[in-house]
Structure 1
Amino acid sequence: MDSIFETFIVPLLVLAVLALALLIIGGVLYFAHFLLTAPMRRAERARFFLDLIETALDRGQPVEEALMSAAKSRDRVLGARFHLLTAILVGGQKLAAALAFVPRLLPPQIVAMLKVGQQIGDLKKVLPACRQLLRDSVSKTRGATNYLVVLTFVVTPLSLFVFAMLCVKVLPSFRQIAEGVSATPPASLMAVWDYAFLILIVQGLVMLTLWFLGFVYAAGPRALEWMPFLHRIYFRLPWRRKRMSRDFSVMLAVLLDARVPETEAVQLAADCTGNRVFQGRAGRVAESLKQGTKLTEAIQAMDDAGEFRWRLTNATHAGDGFRAALAGWHEALDAKAFQQEQAAAHSVTTALVLLNGVFVGAVVVSVFGFLVSIINAGVLW
């Protein structure tokens, strides 16, 4: 009976445990892949939606009819939210009003931009800004982002696990060996031993911070709903603020060229940024406009540096409209935002590499120092 158990049952149990472990690892990897690719799927869904709108406009077909016609194909690629939108459109709602009932179909900024397009009666004018926003969502710094993902979900957790095992298994054995041969452990090893708990806490906090940032990245617009304080953080990030300024300026120029009242134009343009801090500043501009202040003076509240006011003042004297006059500045804002985002991504990646390198170096030096002390003690014997 024992031989049968050892021959058949034990290998089957081992295989079952291995299969379960592989299943768990596969599930974790799939879940991580699902989260990290969520922004790309959202961008692709929005890009397809904009393609449908642009195709309908090129054909001279009402956008609502084109979307309802696409839904009749019952293609699963369109998604449940798209079919929900078309069901609302069948009831006679306009596109902008229907999108309000399906808030997670498109990013809030694109919904606001499409609303601006319907406000001025020309959706084509806002489509380039919508596509630019989608290009922002799938960052051009993808190479640095990939390295950051590896450091966040592989290197940092692995180094934390290895150091925890060293503290539990290896370092106590080293101390016993040192006491047995009357060797004096090196100061570096004693420092690692004495501050092991603090080192683990620091590593854990770094890892949790990186995981939180990864969660915010994967959650996308939902993160702003769950954690409103992110609006202030995003406003303080220089590259995000430049892109907000770009989107606000583009939409404001389109609205002003369409002769939309200045107060309404400022508020609609601010909605296209999707940031409450920016919208709050736009509210102060609107209040100043209602009190009779000129737009070129009231707009100072949107830009602490005063560059936007200067650009807008020059644009008022241009004969070819606000949009054409501000186009060069919009391109400059986009280029600066890309440079700042790239610098930030590479800085964080480099800092993590150096941090892990210093940690590994300290552990290696301590271990080899201990081995040297044992050898010296053995020679003295």
Structure 2
Amino acid sequence: MASASDHDEGEVDQPMSEAGPLGPLPQLSRRQVQWEQRLARIMPEGRLPTTSLGLKEIFGPVSSSSRAEVLWRPSGLGRPGLVAQFSWPRLSTRLAIGIETQVAHALVNRLLGDDRPPTEGRLQLTPVEWGVLTFLIARGLATSADQSGPLGPWDLLIDRTGPDPFDVRQLGSIVTVRWGIRVGDVDGSVRLWLPESLVTLWLDTEPSPDHDPGPAEFPRFRELSSHWRAEAGTIDLPRGVGTLRVGGVLPLGGSRLQGTPQSPSGPVELTTRVTGTPHRLWFSTEPVAGSGGLLLSLKSGVQRDSVLREGLAMNLPSTDPNAGPSQGAGALSPTDIPVTLTVELGRVNLTLSRLADLKPGEVVELGRHSREPVELTSGGRLVARGELVLIDTELGVRVTSIFL
């Protein structure tokens, strides 16, 4: 799920209606609703269908750690990893599967019996690994050649496999289906990118059930969406944001992160404000080891509490006629007002249906790359960006850019 601050190149925003109590409401077309209902019937629990397209030959006995997430846009095209691109001559189109780097390493390690150190899990794949994975994909296609799906036989051809992003030009609108998977102790994502024209063809080709509910009968409140922020702590600036300097290192307050910048650990709150009320909703989470803070493991169910407004201690201009120049008008600059900044690891957009399914142990993926900077915000507004650095045994933030 991408946030406004982390859009993939070429990504097109889904149309939104007016904001509701949980944020903007996505507008779903009849075909979008029908297709998600068809997917729900072939994947009752939303798990990765490893038996389709020969994926079982590629992934082997892996577990799907999250339900399928359908995004009606080309999401995650710039993520590093293995990208297998296919052409479908019979249907005059193309599609692709993306496997994140750490998952691709884990699959090769499982096949070859290697034991790669966790610190190497995000290094680029080697030529040997490309060859192994290409062989697995080709074998998966050969195995599925005599099988049939909603659009007939799986007579796809491999265009190429490698690190190159999927070229979506001349394909029209793109749909992304993302699954969270686990290979041993490694968590990551697998994405399927396909043209929306294939979705339309499937719906037009496959006979409709006796009763295929339309959008009016779809539980619309399940798709209410809200923006959640992963807050890792706070930074107090008693002399205001004017003291911020590029290159400055700031310790975290509140919940403190430990570990390393590449593998932070410790409590992180995934939180959102309930519009029009003094309340907020939040989950207690912890970064997944080795994910760079990109993946969060839930440690609690959703909780609710009140947000108290804190008064600002402002040195207003003195009305005393005997006041010196330092106390007169103009002595206070807006950048001198004490402020507390929130350190955000990233943001994620969650629908009500997704929230209802979340439980302790689930993994949520933030809408950012693990190598991207964290954000320092005040009242939800971006003030600065920085990178996590180690300060003794705890983590802090080195400021890399300031927006004032």
TM over 0.5: no
Select the structure that is richer in helix. Answer: 1
TM-score by structure 1 length?
0.24
Structure having the higher Rg: 1
TM-score by structure 2 length?
0.23
